[in-house]
Amino acid sequence: MASTLALAPGNVRVVRSIDDKIYVGLRPLSNRNCIAVPWARKGRSFSVVRASSENGISVKSLGLSIEECEAAAVSGKFPDPPVVDRPMGPKGTPVVNPLILTRRPRRNRRLPTLRAAFEEITLSPANFVYPLFIHEGEEDAQIGAMPGCFRLGWRHGLVEEVYKARDVGVNSFVLFPKIPDALKSQTGDEAYNDNGLVPRAIRLLKDKYPDIVIYTDVALDPYSSDGHDGIVREDGVIMNDETVHQLCKQAVSQARAGADVVSPSDMMDGRVGAIREALDAEGFQDVSIMSYTAKYASAFYGPFREALDSNPRFGDKKTYQMNPANYREALIETELDEAEGADILLVKPGLPYLDIIRLLRDNSALPIAAYQVSGEYSMIKAGAMHQMIDEEKVMMESLLCLRRAGANIILTYFARQAASVLCGMKGN
């Protein structure tokens, strides 16, 4: 039997003659004016290899080598079109006519290669900023509410953790100090001590790893005996302008130690502009400001406050952190921070506030950061420990969702673990 080559409008297909009828795919040709091309049948047949097992078509491989395929092609011996074997559905599957659909989006999801080609958002270790807790002690101390996280001794544990993170591509870090109670005061003066815990840690890291990017936290709560982000007045009111004065000195001290990005997390009004002016006056024009633009008064911060022993001594932080019910208010904060000179805008918490991340992304040309906070981290860890979820898959999905919402960088305690997964290692 001779096979034929048929010319269809706008397409060229190889067809075969079966029972004296000419077919293209499953359709018989009405136009029988075809060019007969006899196929050479001598020698071994070519192998036909399936691209994937996902397309539901079974084709037998005959296993010719590349050299054998090339030799056959040179001699003019080409394979027959593969015999299509479509697997049957389970017993009881209804027999239906194919739906007449203009679009079938699943076609672009059939194969891993197609899915990778059309992936809209990517995740890499460069997107991560790794928050590290430090303290004055020599030994690392486990944080009970945050499995896998430690208060690191600033001389040894901190340096070792940064080394491990850099090994999997994480090169950005933010430092949070556990300050001894003896050094805390109502005005938080220890925050701008040039020989304090944070400046010493910055100088050590920059000496050891000069190419890393160090972010710092600008706020008084770790240094305040009251546990608030600002100075507390006699009647319990958090003083705004007086607090900003202290924050400016803190930011300059951190920049002097070698910080690359200072991050006011206090939510005082006007602090971004004041800090920018203070940094510029001291010659630190190249130090960036990542403003906690939309920091909400969230219940997700609990484990973090245990890590730093910085719970408010009284009351809460609702008079300066944002109301979780408010959406449009984030635009006010965005406009102010941009006007005052912020270089990066941050949303905190992350996953429960994906709409706010997208809001900032759509209304600002500045880079957007998201903080996957301690409560988010601890919930994933707890769910995994109770075998309710797959920790690695949920971890990676949550980070991808933050990126999809519009975050350029993500502050996450999963940074080293997630980067290990991206590098093809098991995330530990």
The per-residue pLDDT for range 46-80, each reduced to its tens digit, is 444 444 444 455 555 667 788 888 888 888 887 77
CA distances from 114 to 51, 52, 107, 108 (A): 11, 11, 9, 6
Contacts of residue 221, defined as CB under 8 A and 6 or more positions apart, other chains included, come to 227, 228, 229, 266, 308, 310, 312
Q: What is the CB-side half-sphere exposure of residue 296 using CA atoms within 13 A?
A: 25
pLDDT of residue 427: 56
Contacts of residue 385, defined as CB under 8 A and 6 or more positions apart, other chains included, come to 147
348 is catalytic: yes
Q: Which of 178, 184, 295, 317 is catalytic?
A: 295
> Which token pair is 93?
């599957």
pLDDT of residue 48: 43
pLDDT average, residue stretch 356-367: 98
> Which token pair is 253?
């001290």
pLDDT average, residue stretch 225-240: 94
The per-residue pLDDT for range 139-163, each reduced to its tens digit, is 999 998 999 999 999 999 999 999 9
The rounded distance, in Å, linking the Cα atoms of 243 and 144 is: 31
> Which token pair is 214?
């160090």
pLDDT average, residue stretch 186-190: 96
Report whether pLDDT(428) > 80. no
Contacts of residue 88, defined as CB under 8 A and 6 or more positions apart, other chains included, come to none
pLDDT of residue 14: 43
pLDDT of residue 45: 43
Q: Which of 178, 184, 317, 348 is catalytic?
A: 348
Ordered alpha helix ranges (H), 213-364: 240-257, 271-281, 302-308, 329-340, 354-363
Report whether pLDDT(101) > 60. yes
Residues above pLDDT 90, as percent of the chain: 73
The per-residue pLDDT for range 248-276, each reduced to its tens digit, is 999 999 999 999 999 999 999 999 999 99
- 2 vs 334, higher pLDDT: 334
Report whether pLDDT(27) > 60. no
pLDDT average, residue stretch 310-328: 90
- 128 vs 22, higher pLDDT: 128
Give the other-Cβ count within 10 Å of 204's Cβ: 17
Report whether pLDDT(9) > 80. no
**DSSP state string for 87-155:** PPPPTTPPP-PPP--S--GGGGGSSHHHHHHT------GGGEEEEEEEESSSS-EE-TTSTT-EEEETT
Strands 141-142 and 150-153: antiparallel
Domains of the chain in start order, with CATH, are: 22-79 (no CATH), 125-422 (3.20.20.70)
The per-residue pLDDT for range 271-296, each reduced to its tens digit, is 999 999 999 999 999 999 999 999 99
Buried-exposed string 393-405: b where 16+ CB fall within 10 A, e elsewhere: ebbbebbbbbbeb
pLDDT of residue 65: 86
Cα Rg, the chain, nearest whole Å: 31
Give the other-Cβ count within 10 Å of 38's Cβ: 9
Report whether pLDDT(8) > 50. no
pLDDT of residue 61: 61
In DSSP terms, which residues pair with 6 in a beta bridge?
Answer: 13
pLDDT average, residue stretch 218-243: 95
Report whether pLDDT(1) > 60. no
CB-based burial label for 115 (10 Å; 0-12, 13-18, 19+): exposed
CA distances from 43 to 14, 65, 72, 101, 108 (A): 21, 14, 9, 43, 38
